[in-house]
Structure 1
């Protein structure tokens, strides 16, 4: 259960794990579901907006270019 804290947590990863009772797999699955939901919402917004509104910008599929690290 997530703590009733109205402030933005400084340790986001720790907060997410705490919200899932320390279960890393459940936390990752929940984040993946949220990512998929947000991608769907973005695709709906792209369809709804005209290209002039965004000055030709369209979201790309390149994702995060940072390499994975444990540090």
Structure 2
């Protein structure tokens, strides 16, 4: 079964191609695969949240505690 690219899918962050198709989800986060280079990626690739195993709310709460103690 061939999946067709959707115009709303993000471009590949590695090669910049727009031939990207949805590849399910992992941990509730969507995954995409590039049909040009064959690599898969998620929405947090290239951000500070990449490969973190905690929720963004937990990160925000931790940063708030650190900022309050530093003052």
TM-score (norm 1): 0.28
Greater strand share, 1 or 2? 2
Q: State the TM-score, normalizing by the size of structure 2.
A: 0.28
